[in-house]
Amino acid sequence: QVQLVESGGGSVQAGGSLRLSCAASGYNSMSYCMGWFRQAPGMEREGVVIIDSAGSPSYADSVKGRFTISRDNAKNTLYLEMNSLKPEDTAMYYCASSPVRWHCPRGSLAYPYWGQGTQVTVSS
């Protein structure tokens, strides 16, 4: 049974930083496409960044240069370093995994495994 557990969310002021973690269990998620998605109230879930099995990331334009995805294969954990946070980054952040290794899908519907989410709130 695949389990993804996020942590690290919180409340920060604009310009601040947070580091999210996603601990995976049940299968070797690090060998497949994984991603961070976010959903603000009243908005659709959107992709923030995805990473393929080789570690190649693809960022949304809105977070390029500010967010960095990484992973620790030994710990089966995915990370999202978020810097220069803006109020518009406020959302519930989710970790997701897909049974695809390459050409990672960008849409959330292609990811069958999800964590429970962690809230990020950025105040101005």
pLDDT at 78: 96
pLDDT at 34: 95
**For residues 25 and 52, what is the distance between their CA atoms, to the nearest angstrom?**
18
All residues at 6 or more sequence positions from 50 whose CB lies less than 8 Å from its CB, including other chains = 33, 34, 35, 36, 57, 58, 104, 105, 106
User: Which of 97, 116, 85, 110 is closest to 36 using CA atoms?
Assistant: 97
Low-confidence ranges of the chain (pLDDT < 70): none
Q: 107: number of CA atoms within 13 Å, CB side? A: 2
Any alpha helices (H) in 1-124, and if so which ranges? Answer: none
Pairing of the two strands 118-123 and 10-13: parallel
pLDDT at 27: 77
pLDDT at 90: 98
User: Which of 107, 124, 115, 123 is closest to 20 using CA atoms?
Assistant: 115
